[in-house]
């Protein structure tokens, strides 16, 4: 009986240690009385945010990776004991069937505006949603993308899951590493003009003003030639790319079309032959998980800077 009383007391202390938290998630405030215990993340970069915070034991699975992307060795090890509940976007039934109490996703990262899976459709089933900051542009106005978008998500997840100290330490380390790197960056003073090529041949799918590569490119000493494109990830026409005349092309690598095939398409397309980057064969590849908000963004900045300034 004494042991039971001590056990109950421990549980009471543990549950009372978590103070109710409210976080801003796009245009909503979401309140948590206790940390989630059955979380699901969508997409490889969001899943890595959960893993870097040490939250695997509070997850029941992940979604939206193998349908488009492959896991590298680090990611395979990180999710080894977790099931992939859906190869692409999950249905509402998939999340309910997993007894999920939390879904970390974004607009066009596991949810679509007006779609079947949204914070509103999941709420009646006790599934709370936190939305990826970068994706909030799909709901209304937001500031131009910055590294703070990624930091914000890690800090909010830290508060939600009661690992705030861990999140603060990780973000502080990222900021220190990036500041140290950028302060020692030797550039020629003029930012490199950069175009991001994600996919598509008839019309390229690219990163605009609100997509993460814009922030990565700027941190590396470049400028996205589509910085004035008031979109996140979206299609544009090749004529605009030719007119912008980028000096460097960043290829986002994922899916069935390889980075090399995307590069060959641009190099062998007569309509693109006069682009500075094509003439001078200046391409750099970012893996999808590096180009989207997540723990590999600092590595991505360093990779871009090396490509921009190594010559």
Per residue in 281-293, pLDDT (tens digit) is 999 999 999 999 9
Residue 50 lies in a domain: yes
What is the tens place of the pLDDT at every residue in 184-208?
A: 888 777 899 999 999 999 999 999 9
Considering 169, 196, 213, which residue would you say is the last residue of a domain? 169
pLDDT band at 13 (very low <50, low <70, confident <90, very high): very low
Residue 177 lies in a domain: no
Average pLDDT, the chain: 93
CATH code assigned at 42: 3.40.50.1980
Quick one: 34 and 134 in the same domain? yes
Quick one: 135 and 254 in the same domain? no
Quick one: 149 and 197 in the same domain? no
What is the tens place of the pLDDT at every residue in 38-93?
A: 999 999 999 999 999 999 999 999 999 999 888 888 888 888 889 999 999 999 99
Segment 106-132 shows an average pLDDT of 98
Quick one: 131 and 272 in the same domain? no
pLDDT band at 311 (very low <50, low <70, confident <90, very high): low
Segment 119-140 shows an average pLDDT of 98
Residue 181 lies in a domain: no
Q: Please give the backbone phi and psi of residue 195, each rounded to the nearest 5 degrees, phi first.
A: -115, 135
- Number of separate domains in the chain: 2
Residue 3 lies in a domain: no
Residue 9 lies in a domain: no
Domain encompassing residue 286: 188-309
Segment 121-125 shows an average pLDDT of 98
Segment 161-181 shows an average pLDDT of 98
Three-class SS string for the chain? CHHHHHHHHHHHHHHHCCCCEEEEECCEEEEECCCCCCEEEECHHHHHHHHHCCCHHHEEEEECCCCCCCCCHHHHHHCCCCCEEECCCCCHHHHHHCCCCEEEEEECEEECCCCCCCHHHHHHHCCEEEECHHHHHHCCCCCCCCHHHHHHHHHHHHHHCCCHHHHHHHHHHHHHHHHHHHHCCCCCCCCEEEEEECECCCCCEEECCCCHHHHHHHHCCEEECCCCCCCCEEECCHHHHHHHCCCEEEEEECCCCCHHHHHHHHHHCHHHCCCHHHHCCCEEEEEHHHHCCCCCHHHHHHHHHHHHHCC
Residue 260 lies in a domain: yes
Quick one: 143 and 193 in the same domain? no
Q: Does the model's pTM come out above 0.75?
A: yes
pLDDT value at 97 more than 80: yes
Segment 214-236 shows an average pLDDT of 97
Quick one: 210 and 132 in the same domain? no
Quick one: 145 and 199 in the same domain? no
Quick one: 244 and 192 in the same domain? yes
Residue with tokens 């939250």: 55
Quick one: 165 and 206 in the same domain? no
Residue 100 lies in a domain: yes
Quick one: 215 and 292 in the same domain? yes
pLDDT of res. 231: 96
Considering 169, 198, 216, which residue would you say is the last residue of a domain? 169
Residue 180 lies in a domain: no
pLDDT of res. 9: 45
pLDDT of res. 73: 86
Considering 102, 136, 169, which residue would you say is the last residue of a domain? 169
Quick one: 165 and 22 in the same domain? yes
pLDDT of res. 262: 98
Quick one: 73 and 116 in the same domain? yes
């Amino acid at each position: 009986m004494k042991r039971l009383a001590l056990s109950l007391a421990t549980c009471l202390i543990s549950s009372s240690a978590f103070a109710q938290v409210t976080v801003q998630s796009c245009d909503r405030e979401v309140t948590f009385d206790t940390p989630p215990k059955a979380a699901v993340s969508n997409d490889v970069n969001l899943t890595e945010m959960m893993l870097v915070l040490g939250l695997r034991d509070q997850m029941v699975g992940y979604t939206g990776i193998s349908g488009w992307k492959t896991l590298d060795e680090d990611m395979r090890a990180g999710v080894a004991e977790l099931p992939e509940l859906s190869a692409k976007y999950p249905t509402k039934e998939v999340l309910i069937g997993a007894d999920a109490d939390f879904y970390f996703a974004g607009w066009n990262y596991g949810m679509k505006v007006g779609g079947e899976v949204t914070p509103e459709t999941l709420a009646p089933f006790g599934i709370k949603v936190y939305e990826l900051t970068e994706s909030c542009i799909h709901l209304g106005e937001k500031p131009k993308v910055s590294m703070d978008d990624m930091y914000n998500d890690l800090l909010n997840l830290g508060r939600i899951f009661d690992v705030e100290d861990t999140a603060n330490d990780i973000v502080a380390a990222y900021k220190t590493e990036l500041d140290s790197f950028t302060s020692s960056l030797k550039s020629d003073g003029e930012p490199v003009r950069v175009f991001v090529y994600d996919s598509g041949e008839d019309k390229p799918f690219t990163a605009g003003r609100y997509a993460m590569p814009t922030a990565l490119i700027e941190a590396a000493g470049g400028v996205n030639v589509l910085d004035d494109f008031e979109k996140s990830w979206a299609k544009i026409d090749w004529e605009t790319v030719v007119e912008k005349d980028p000096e460097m092309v960043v290829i986002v690598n994922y899916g069935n079309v390889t980075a090399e095939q995307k590069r060959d398409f641009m190099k062998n397309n007569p309509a693109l032959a006069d682009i500075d980057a094509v003439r001078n064969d200046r391409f750099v590849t970012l893996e999808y998980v590096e180009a989207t908000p997540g723990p590999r963004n600092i590595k991505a900045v360093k990779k871009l800077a090396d490509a921009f300034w190594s010559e």
